[in-house]
Structure formats: C-alpha cells, structure tokens
C-alpha cells in the first residue's frame, strides 16, 4: 500500500482571499514504511509575502521570485503522488490550497476521498491532549530539534514518523499478516494443527471434572460459611 505524506507552506491561511501555495514536500510510504523517495518544490506565488507568513516558514518574496509557478511544474507533482492516498496534518488546509492551485491551472482537483487527516486521528486517539505536530512529536519521541522554521519537506518527514506511530508503530510493517490474509491463515491453522513431536512422550488427557470426594469436601466447606450471600 502506497501513501504520500505531504505538507504545504503558503502566503496566508485562506486561498479564497488570494493566498497562494509556495512550497510542497512529500514523503512516500509503502506499507507504512518510508521508502526514501521524496518530492519537494518551491513555487513563485506571483504576489507579495506577508511578514507574518514569512516569520513562520522563512520564505521571502525575493527567494521565491525565480522559482517556477505551480502551473509550470504541476505535472512533476501529479506524477509523484499518482492516485494514492494523501496524508496531511490538518489536511483540510493543505487540500484547500492544493486544489485551489489545481483549479488555477485548469486541472482536476484532488478527490477528498484520498484525504487522511492526522489531526483528526490524533484527536480520536488522545482526546483532550495537544495535537499540534510539535506536541505529537514530543508524545511519540520524534526528534524535531532541527526544526527552526516550518518547512514543507521537513514537516512531511516528521509527520511520516508520527503517522506511523498513530497507525500502530513500525511493527505494523514487520512481516505481520495483512488483513486480507488473516482469514486464510486462520483456516490453514484450523485445518492443519501442529503435529506431535516424535520424541515427546504422549500423555493421557487429564481429568477436569471434580471427584466425589472433592464434591463432598466442597459441600462441607459451604456449610461452614455463616450467612452466605447466595441465601439472601
């Protein structure tokens, strides 16, 4: 199973107000394990960079001025993500910007059925706790000491580790049976019980029913109990 963990950086919080995506970072997972394949790109937003946004991700309008527009490089992104699930933290935000950019270059939007939101997952798993990416990194022991600014690829790499923990940890991909194989394995186990070892002595089954003597001793014990609750 292939999944893409991704993150975006933008000029603001709402594409409907003219804000644009300026960076995207993607990390490929196969069976919940990073493959080492990534995608990373900066885009010229064709507008100014608000100071409050630059303070978060450190990307200035001057730095982005010579970068391609999203429409000029959209095929590279689409070729990487293909038709696989897309995982993001507060995914509604990232999907809104991504689909706004796709609309501007007359491309089909990413279907929301492909969306997996780790923020929603974290809220279900740890209700009442803190659910920012930083908080989840702390909870699951993910090193974020090198995170000075928000960066799309760095945050996607951190989120990939968090997502693995949210979905059961690395043990989920250590050769355990896939869900679709479980019923087959169960039927095999029932149909083919373990064979007896040739050098192990065969023992007769132990009796599990109480003997007459044990039943009499039990009845005598019950008679000694003063005011038993079963007589109330």
**Neighbour-count burial of 62, counting CB atoms closer than 10 A to its CB (0-12 exposed, 13-18 middle, 19+ buried):** exposed
- What would the two tokens of residue 162 be? 């968090």
Instruction: Give the pLDDT confidence of 128-147 residue by residue, as tens digits.
Output: 889 999 999 999 999 888 77
pTM of the model: 0.72
- What would the two tokens of residue 228 be? 């038993």
Q: What three-state secondary structure class fits 44?
A: coil
Q: What's the whole-number average pLDDT of the chain?
A: 85
How far is residue 14 CA from its own chain's centroid? Answer: 25
Q: Which residues are catalytic?
A: 150
pLDDT at position 206: 63
Inter-residue contact 45 to 38 (CB < 8 Å): no
**Neighbour-count burial of 65, counting CB atoms closer than 10 A to its CB (0-12 exposed, 13-18 middle, 19+ buried):** exposed
Instruction: Give the pLDDT confidence of 153-193 residue by residue, as tens digits.
Output: 999 999 999 999 999 886 554 444 444 444 433 333 333 34
- Vertex 168 angle, CA 82 and 25, to 5°: 35
Instruction: Give the pLDDT confidence of 62-94 residue by residue, as tens digits.
Output: 999 999 999 999 999 999 999 999 999 999 999
Domains delineated in the chain: 2-175 (3.30.420.10)
Residue that is written with structure tokens 């900066």 in the block: 42
Run of H or E including 61: helix 61-64
Inter-residue contact 134 to 149 (CB < 8 Å): no
CA distance 61 to 69: 13
Inter-residue contact 15 to 103 (CB < 8 Å): no
- The DSSP code for 88 is E
């Amino acid at each position: 199973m292939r999944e893409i963990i991704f993150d975006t950086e933008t000029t603001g919080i709402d594409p409907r107000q003219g804000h644009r995506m300026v960076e995207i970072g993607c990390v490929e997972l196969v069976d919940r394990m990073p493959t080492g394949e990534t995608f990373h790109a900066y885009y010229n937003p064709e507008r100014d960079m608000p100071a409050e946004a630059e303070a978060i991700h450190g990307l200035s309008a001057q730095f982005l001025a010579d970068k391609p527009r999203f429409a000029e490089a959209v095929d590279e992104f689409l070729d990487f993500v293909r038709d696989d699930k897309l995982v993001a933290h507060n995914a509604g935000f990232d999907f809104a910007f991504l689909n706004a950019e796709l609309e501007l270059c007359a491309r089909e939007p990413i279907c929301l059925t492909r969306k997996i939101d780790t923020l929603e997952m974290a809220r279900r798993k740890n209700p009442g706790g803190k659910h920012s990416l930083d908080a989840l990194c702390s909870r699951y022991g993910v090193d974020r000491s090198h995170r000075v600014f928000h960066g799309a690829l760095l945050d996607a790499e951190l989120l990939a580790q968090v997502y693995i923990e949210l979905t059961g940890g690395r043990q989920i991909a250590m050769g355990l049976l896939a869900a679709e194989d479980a019923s087959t394995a169960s039927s095999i186990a029932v149909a083919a019980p373990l064979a007896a070892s040739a050098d192990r002595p065969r023992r007769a089954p132990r009796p599990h029913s109480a003997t007459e003597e044990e039943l009499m001793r039990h009845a005598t014990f019950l008679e000694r109990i003063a005011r038993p609750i079963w007589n109330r």
